[in-house]
Structures are given as structure tokens and as C-alpha cells.
Amino acid sequence: MLFNSIEFAIFLPIVFILYWALRKHFQFQLYVLLVASYIFYGWWDWRFLSLIVFSSGIDFLIGKRLGTITVESNRKMLLGLSLLANFGVLGFFKYYNFFSESLSEAFTFFGKEIPTGRLDIILPVGISFYTFQTLSYTIDVYRRKLEPTDDWLAFFGFVSFSPNWLLVQLKEHLIY
């Protein structure tokens, strides 16, 4: 859903009215924002919703665990797990074909052909943005600059809040 589409022109007032109607029920407002953000993000391709849920979930759980562990080596291991999971997903979607093709070309230099599988991978909208959003939280908790949250709804809403996607799409629209 693009910010300058008819769908968005209908979507935004509905979300705004629902949010405003629930102004005395903060928890329900958070649910509205989370669901609206997921609808907004998933409008392009709903299958990529699992990526934002995965990234949010892993960093929420690791952040909570970092708040209870005092052994520094265990804290580093948890931070490493977060970095590996998030950068693994990001790297796969952004760089799989690049590295696959580069490896194949490198071996042709030596006279060998390596068949590499090229995947038609579509880069999910905003994957870098929300990956770094969740990682910044985990790193801040690791450095003890933030206390981990127990409110999964607020955290998932923080990661997926629609105006962030608006800014990403606006930037992409202006660049291309």
C-alpha cells in the first residue's frame, strides 16, 4: 500500500477513527496500531509478515533474557544470537544472489564452472529498517542503556508502527 494510493486514503481515516474512538483504552489503541501496521506492511505481500514478527519476537525474548542474566559471557552469547538471526535473515534476502553469482564467477577465473542456484528473491519492503530497529533495542539492553520491556504489545508496535513504513516508502518513492 503506497502512501499516495486510494487504498491508503481509505485505510488511514479508518485507523485514525478507531484509534481516536479508543482514546480512553490505551491497551486497545496499541492493538489497533499493531494490527494496522501489520496490514499496512503486509499489503504489499502478506508472506513477509513472518519476517517482521520473527525479528521482533527474537529481539523481544533476547532483550527480556538479557535483563535477567549477569554473566557477561552469556550476555555476549545472547547478543551474538540476536545479531546472527537478524543479519542472517537480512543477508539472505539482500545478498544471496550477489554472493552466489560472485562465487560462480570467481571459479570461472580458474577454468572451473560451478553451478549455483539463483533464487528469485524479492527484497521485503523495510527489512533493513525494522532489522536495525530491533537490533538497536537489543544492543541498548545489552549495554544496559535500556531496561528490557515486559510489554510485548508495545515492543511489537514500536517495531512495526506504520509511520515508520511511510517514511521508508516516501524515501524510496523520492529516490526512484
- With 0-12 / 13-18 / 19 or more C-beta atoms within 10 angstroms meaning exposed / middle / buried, residue 109 is exposed
Average pLDDT, integer, range 120-132: 80
* Percent of the chain surpassing pLDDT 90: 43
Of 62, 69, 68, the residue nearest 85 (C-alpha): 62
Q: How confident is residue 48, by pLDDT bands cut at 50, 70 and 90? A: confident
Q: Looking at per-residue confidence, does 165 or 134 come out higher?
A: 134
Residue 175 reports pLDDT greater than 90: no
Range 149-154 average pLDDT: 92
Distance between CA 21 and CA 95 in Å, rounded?
44
For the question of whether the overall pTM of this predicted structure is more than 0.85, the answer is no
pLDDT of residue 47: 86
Determine contact, residues 140/146, Cβ cutoff 8 Å. Answer: yes
| pLDDT of res. 104 | 72
- Output 31 or 117, whichever has higher pLDDT: 31
Q: Is-contact 53 35, C-beta < 8 A? A: no
pLDDT at position 148 is 94
